[in-house]
Structure 1
């Protein structure tokens, strides 16, 4: 059961419409910088004022790595190299059997390796649905994005998906260990912050829709951008931010955009 809070057909950089406002959170609002890369390049320089320091996310040097990792949603270095799942190091099968429509559900196995070192809580499992022909693509710690990329899925003919799981402490130390996406920022702030790192350019004029939905008490921000064609889902759980993207080239999008949207809409952190 889901509840759509709002839908925006066009993106605006103006003040947030009152219709977009959710019930104020007890958490102090956080101003997300428009560019992770820009913020990182200034991370070693003193802030111009104390107010800037207190109202902006405290990005670390590692945020440039997150930005690089997200760009892989638009172009995997091994696009089309999906492999049959097996008990390989760090990779445990998580796909269900196909249902009557030929779709399978992926659930992140509890035993799957991953995380960000001592002191981090276990990664909260997530699920999403994929067509029967889609398969997991190996993720290497040598990839740009490193451990931030938790999973890749794809099909050479239909498109690809990526899951990025980023510790919130990469960005700020003020949100605690039970973070909500609302505390991270408004939908406009989130897409302004992470959209350019996903598509590699400004999101101005590219956001076709922006939705907020609630499923089982968790809020999800959902965006559609083009060009390039991409669906982005953002949420938070525990002390981590989750980003799920589905995309494809022009031909893939033309033929399979409904499937790519169905995959994106099915994403849940459980």
Structure 2
């Protein structure tokens, strides 16, 4: 192989917590008091010149509150499936678990899922921000909960499924597991050629050696990023692999024999729609 494999990255998880102070605590705790008392206080502030300072502070607070509201609006837009491709800066959110990320159906009934910017890294991969990814699914596909005790592995970031057509899951793994000299902006080509990548990571997807199971390997390029595309059987599975930042992304679409036979074209379209944004 020529490249050292690491069993684990050994880096500590980092969670950046923010304390949110309720708005009503930032204002006075009591709204009571006589009108004459408040008038007297106002007069004293005016005489001492402090009223203008308080007005400035109040104005500054309102401006900061306005910025906070704008920020919440921006996050809400991205979570609900905005058509924008992404934010200039990737941030690690505190919100774990399932957050709505599906768009409204297009004319063909397909919906686009975009990983919400404020979704945390989750189990096993929370030590640095995850660059968002997206993919498309037909109507009827929905997100499936991922547990820390998920038997599929601690680095599964997302699961989707349709009882009619099949299921998919996304593995987001640190490239440090594969090599220690790829830096913080790795590409799939640096990790290795298509055959090396599938031999190293394919067993994590299907639970067994992939030798003799790879039917096809292709390389696609979108917006300057290379994607390795594989088809394996049995078991029937389509894998799209790429790298971004310090992460390896494995997008896996699978189904039963009957689902594969009836919905192969849809499953292939789902697999080929995967992008890191």
Indicate whether the TM-score tops 0.5.
yes
1:265 aligns with 2:212: no
Aligned residues: 194
Indicate the residue corresponding to 1:126 in structure 2: 133
- 2 CA distance for matches of 1:96 and 1:108? 11
- 2 CA distance for matches of 1:152 and 1:237? 20
- 2 CA distance for matches of 1:224 and 1:231? 5
2:171 to 164, 182, 201: 164
1:56 aligns with 2:21: no
Aligned-residue offset at 1:216 = 0.2
CA displacement, residues 3-28 of structure 1 (integer Å, 9 cap, x when unaligned): xxxxxxxxxxxxxxxxxxxxxxxxxx
Superposed, which structure 2 residues align to 1:1-270 within 5 Å? 31=1, 55-61=2-8, 90-114=97-121, 120-270=127-277
CA displacement, residues 101-159 of structure 1 (integer Å, 9 cap, x when unaligned): 11100000001122578994310000000011000000011213554110000011110
Quick check: 222-231 or 193-202, which moved more? 193-202
Gaps of 5+ in 1: 1-30, 32-54, 64-84
- 1 CA distance for matches of 2:180 and 2:213? 31
TM superposition score normalised by structure 2: 0.65
Quick check: which has more Rg, 1 or 2?
2
SS in structure 1 opposite 2:135? Answer: strand
Aligned-residue offset at 1:200 = 2.5
Higher relative contact order (CA 8 A, sep 6+): 1
SS in structure 2 opposite 1:157? Answer: coil
Q: Identify if the C-alpha distance between structure 1 residues 116 and 141 changes in structure 2 by more than 3 Å, giving closer, same or farther.
A: closer
- 1 CA distance for matches of 2:251 and 2:168? 7
- Computed over aligned residues only, the root mean square deviation of the Cα atoms, in angstroms, reads 2.3
